[in-house]
């Protein structure tokens, strides 16, 4: 983390030689603290393990693979050669009760490391060890540093991959699907994982084609590293010796192996008949559903007490039965999510797809199964424990923001959420969700620059939605390859009263579809109807006089749009951690605007945004990165009615607890325009474009009573802009040539309190580079640092409502729930 702090610190632009000298001294102090390691409770008079190092020779491997090998090799030190370092004071470290040094532990560690290198395909790796004893740094202590030098040499490559299965059907399937193998002859390394992946691929193919009983235990991979030249017999012992020497040299220079997949012979000959049954193809037999299974009922007992069920539904073929006692569910949800048909060959994919989709509906909290062989068929039984049908939850949210909304003072927000959920509407496993929300924003210090009243903002909102566990369309859509399919209908309305400024009402309803494919999720709303109305009050009227741009920004109307959203989560390939990507598109008026009656009655715009989050998970810490980009274009024909920008409720905003944290919510931008920063009234900003990059390093601090306290250092980079140039708002439009000037940079630290079920977060950010700061090209000055920006104070008029002066802080304090990204 010290390196991270140093990088951020060195970005501060110096304004003098004196400042540069201080900067270099502080940088040296950070690096010195990072090198400081203290030892607590060392063995008295005995050498102890101070450090264990791995030095890897990487001449024959890539940098990425060398880094991965070195990291993993460190996991194979025996415990008596480990001295875990605990972080202290953020950058320094300490060692507590280090183990006594034992030379025998070195050979054990090398043995473990050699086994690991073999599993990674390095069968010719060599190891050397070095031991250094330091008795001068700390008098009375004998600090031992153990270093193991590893030379991997060349990795063994798979020369060829073949199949020699006695069962001709299995052999044919393996040959037909060999194109899907990840093993490439003469390129793929001979590793334990690569061979295991190939065996798993074969087993998956077989089980999806009806081989219900086959498993990894039925297959074996035989390898041969013998040089083919040695198979040519000769009676001359000297010639044979020369061949063997040449083969050994070739194998050392280019080690390779021939891999042959075969059936594993049974260890017990009495089990030959049982093993033969493993290679029989099974078909889907009878399918039974038990949708009202009790949480304490034993599935096997239910199968022997079928007469206790008063209601039994059977399909016309009689191959599917549904057993229930109270008739809580109609058959359709189960039949729609059954991905197998009687008489088809058994498939693992269809079987587990059925279980996963039944679980994803939400009407059942648990789905269990019991399968039984009946001749050459598999009878399946699904036991489904219903979730609690209805429940009500109440949540209280709180937020604190410096410089939020239309003021530059501290604002405290409270919101009460009440949610009612019904998981089985009309007995069809339809999900119903009703939400009521009321929130207020309070000025506890009554120091707002625009109003002395306690209540600043009042918001009331309500929503209701239905989620049907199938696609409802005028035509049939093939959904066998999709998961978690839903049709969602929702309606919501809200009322916002920004005291002295405006009253805003909205009504939104839409019809859409949701589904998953693999680890990707999709959401498509072909119909999205939004209706808004705005009552302008005295405060906003006064603000529009000082800032004419607000007349166009606060435009309202009707939206009739389509929305498409895509997101995917996937793990990192070479190190622990996950990736998240989200992409969204919305268009309004492109299609519906072609209807003459709607052409001049609805907004016509196109909006797109994307977000990428990447996490690097270390032993106890995490590095998180986030990138966001969004842009929207309003191309409505009637500019007087709909304006030239996106409607403000569709625009982008920056600042607050989850964005540029040194700025209050909606208090950054537009570009490097000073119009909003120097305004004495309404200061909220909305833009048609946003770029943002966030970097955060997270680390543990301590725990108190089960509550984990974690720390973080972060930097936020970004801003919002308009797309079109406005004479009344200079320097607010996006321009590549002015990007360096427009970009804002924040640096800060934060505290996270993890209660397991919720994380409360407080972040403190400094405006390292502020586009609204004229001096020093926007960069913070260390020599002339102030907590407030006093530029233009003598030129700005007081608020016409409160007659109070405006202040601009050089910092921001944010209170948030959960991690920012």
Domain assignment present for 773: yes
> At which residue do the structure tokens 């984990």 appear?
708
Burial class (CB in 10 A: 0-12, 13-18, 19+), 231: exposed
The token pair at 605 is 């715009």
User: For residue 621, is pLDDT > 60?
Assistant: yes
Percent of all residues in the chain with a pLDDT value above 70, rounded to a whole number: 83
E strands, 635-705, are: 689-704
| Segments forming the whole domain that contains residue 41 | 36-136
Q: Do 367 and 481 lie in a common domain? A: no
> At which residue do the structure tokens 């699907």 appear?
177
Higher pLDDT, 767 or 640: 767
Can you tell me the distance from the alpha carbon of 563 to that of 591, in angstroms, rounded to the nearest whole number? 13
Of 135, 163, 160, 167, give the one whose Cα is nearest residue 45. Answer: 135
Decide which of 357, 386, 415 is a domain's last residue: 386
Domain assignment present for 149: no
Helix (H, G, I), strand (E, B) or coil at 641: helix
Helix (H, G, I), strand (E, B) or coil at 164: strand
The token pair at 544 is 């529009």
Higher pLDDT, 39 or 546: 39
Domain assignment present for 144: no
The token pair at 132 is 């250094």
User: For residue 677, is pLDDT > 90?
Assistant: no
Q: Do 25 and 45 lie in a common domain? A: no
Q: Do 463 and 554 lie in a common domain? A: yes
Task: Give buried/exposed letters for 214-225 (b at 16+ CB in 10 A, else e).
Answer: beeebbebeeee
The token pair at 584 is 């969204």
Q: Do 360 and 504 lie in a common domain? A: no
Q: Do 177 and 297 lie in a common domain? A: no
Q: Do 712 and 723 lie in a common domain? A: yes
Q: Do 659 and 767 lie in a common domain? A: yes
Count CA within 13 A, CB hemisphere, residue 532: 20
722 pairs with which residues across the strands?
733
Can you tell me the distance from the alpha carbon of 550 to that of 527, in angstroms, rounded to the nearest whole number? 30
Q: How confident is the model at residue 690 (pLDDT cuts 50, 70, 90)?
A: very high
| Mean pLDDT score of the chain | 85
pTM: 0.78
Decide which of 107, 136, 165 is a domain's last residue: 136
pLDDT tens by residue, 556-587: 778 999 999 999 999 998 788 999 999 999 99
Domain assignment present for 145: no
pLDDT tens by residue, 357-410: 999 999 999 999 999 999 999 999 999 999 999 999 998 876 665 543 333 445
Q: Do 542 and 645 lie in a common domain? A: yes
pLDDT tens by residue, 643-671: 788 888 899 999 988 999 999 888 898 98
Domain assignment present for 765: yes
Domain assignment present for 142: no
Decide which of 251, 277, 303 is a domain's last residue: 277
pLDDT tens by residue, 598-614: 777 888 999 999 999 99
Higher pLDDT, 528 or 808: 528
811 pairs with which residues across the strands?
766
CATH number of domain containing 352:
3.10.20.310
Query: Quick one: average pLDDT of 126-135?
Result: 94
pLDDT tens by residue, 413-459: 788 999 999 999 999 999 999 999 998 887 765 544 445 677 788 89
Q: Do 372 and 405 lie in a common domain? A: no
**H or E segment at 378?**
strand 377-386
Q: Do 613 and 690 lie in a common domain? A: yes
Q: Do 329 and 271 lie in a common domain? A: no
Domain assignment present for 148: no
pLDDT tens by residue, 195-228: 999 999 999 999 999 999 999 999 999 987 654 4
What pLDDT was estimated at residue 602? 87
> At which residue do the structure tokens 């060890």 appear?
129
**Dihedral sign of CA atoms 704, 708, 711, 717 in order:** negative
What pLDDT was estimated at residue 44? 87
As for how many domains the chain has, the answer is: 5
Query: Quick one: average pLDDT of 325-338?
Result: 95
Domain assignment present for 146: no
């Amino acid at each position: 983390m010290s390196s991270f702090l140093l990088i951020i610190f060195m970005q501060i632009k110096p304004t003098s030689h004196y400042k540069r000298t201080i900067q270099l001294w502080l940088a040296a102090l950070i690096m010195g603290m990072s090198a400081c390691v203290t030892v607590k409770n060392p063995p008295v008079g005995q050498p102890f393990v101070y450090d264990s190092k791995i030095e890897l020779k990487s001449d024959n491997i890539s940098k990425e693979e060398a880094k991965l090998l070195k990291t993993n090799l460190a996991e194979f030190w025996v415990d008596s050669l480990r001295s875990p370092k605990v972080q202290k004071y953020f950058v320094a470290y300490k060692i507590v009760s280090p183990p006594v040094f034992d030379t025998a532990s070195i050979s054990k560690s090398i043995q473990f490391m050699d086994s690991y290198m073999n599993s990674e395909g390095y069968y010719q790796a060599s190891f050397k060890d070095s031991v250094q004893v330091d008795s001068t740094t700390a008098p009375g202590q004998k600090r031992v540093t153990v270093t193991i030098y590893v030379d991997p040499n060349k990795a063994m490559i798979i020369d060829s991959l073949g199949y020699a299965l006695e069962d001709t059907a299995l052999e044919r399937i393996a040959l037909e699907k060999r194109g899907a193998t990840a093993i490439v002859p003469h390129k793929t390394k001979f590793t334990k994982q690569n061979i295991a992946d190939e065996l798993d691929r074969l087993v998956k193919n077989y089980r999806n084609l009806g081989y219900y009983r086959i498993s990894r235990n039925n297959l074996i991979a035989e390898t041969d590293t013998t040089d083919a030249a040695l198979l040519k017999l000769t009676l001359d012992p000297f010639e044979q010796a020369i061949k063997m020497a040449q083969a050994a040299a070739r194998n050392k220079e280019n080690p390779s192996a021939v891999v042959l997949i075969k059936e594993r012979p049974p260890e017990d000959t009495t089990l030959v008949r049982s093993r033969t049954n493993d290679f029989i193809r099974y078909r889907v037999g009878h399918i039974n559903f038990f949708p009202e299974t009790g949480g304490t009922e034993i599935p096997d007992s239910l199968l022997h007490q079928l007469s206790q069920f008063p209601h039994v539904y059977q399909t016309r073929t009689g191959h599917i039965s549904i057993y229930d006692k109270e008739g809580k569910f109609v058959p359709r949800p189960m039949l729609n999510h059954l991905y197998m048909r009687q008489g088809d060959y058994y498939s693992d994919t269809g079987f587990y797809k059925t279980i996963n989709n039944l679980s994803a509906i939400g009407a059942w909290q648990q789905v269990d199964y019991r399968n039984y062989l009946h001749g050459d068929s598999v009878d399946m039984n699904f036991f489904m424990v219903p979730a609690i049908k209805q429940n009500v939850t109440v949540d209280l949210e709180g937020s604190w923001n410096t410089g939020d909304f239309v003021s530059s003072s501290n604002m405290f927000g409270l919101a009460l959420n009440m949610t009612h959920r019904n998981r089985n509407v009309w007995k069809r496993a339809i999900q119903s969700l009703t939400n009521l929300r009321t929130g207020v924003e309070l000025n506890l210090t009554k120091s707002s620059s625009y109003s002395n009243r306690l209540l600043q903002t009042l918001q009331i909102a309500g929503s209701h939605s239905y989620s049907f566990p199938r696609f409802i369309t005028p035509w049939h859509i093939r959904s066998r390859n999709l998961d978690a399919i839903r049709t969602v209908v929702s309606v919501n309305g809200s009322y916002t009263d920004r005291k002295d400024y405006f009253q805003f009402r909205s009504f939104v309803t839409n019809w859409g579809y949701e589904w998953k494919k693999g680890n990707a999720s999709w959401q498509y709303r072909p119909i999205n109807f939004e209706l808004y109305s705005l009552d302008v009050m005295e405060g906003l009227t006064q603000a529009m006089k000082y800032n004419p741009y607000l007349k166009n920004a606060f435009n309202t109307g009707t939206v009739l749009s389509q929305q498409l959203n895509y997101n995917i989560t996937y793990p990192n390939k070479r190190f622990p951690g996950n990736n998240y990507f989200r992409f969204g598109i919305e268009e309004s008026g492109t299609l519906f605007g072609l209807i003459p009656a709607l052409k001049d009655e609805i907004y016509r715009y196109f909006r797109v945004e994307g977000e990428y989050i990447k996490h690097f998970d270390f032993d106890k810490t995490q590095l998180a990165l986030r990138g966001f980009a969004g842009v929207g274009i309003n191309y409505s024909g009637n500019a007087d009615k709909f304006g030239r920008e996106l409607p403000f409720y569709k625009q982008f905003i920056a600042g607050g607890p989850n964005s540029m944290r040194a700025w209050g919510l909606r208090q950054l931008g537009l570009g490097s325009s000073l119009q909003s920063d120097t305004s004495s009234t309404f200061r909220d900003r909305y833009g048609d474009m946003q770029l943002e990059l966030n970097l955060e390093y997270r680390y543990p601090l301590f725990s108190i009573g089960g509550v984990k306290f974690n720390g973080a250092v972060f930097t936020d980079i970004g801003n919002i802009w308009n797309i079109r140039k406005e004479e009344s708002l200079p320097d607010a439009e996006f321009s590549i040539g002015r990007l360096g000037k427009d970009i804002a940079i924040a640096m800060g630290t934060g505290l996270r309190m993890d209660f397991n079920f919720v994380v409360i977060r407080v972040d403190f950010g400094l405006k390292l580079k502020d586009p609204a700061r004229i001096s020093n090209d926007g960069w913070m000055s260390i020599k002339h640092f102030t907590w407030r920006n006093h530029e233009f104070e003598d030129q700005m008029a007081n608020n016409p409502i409160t007659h109070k002066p405006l202040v601009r802080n050089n910092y921001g304090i944010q209170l948030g729930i959960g991690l920012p990204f």
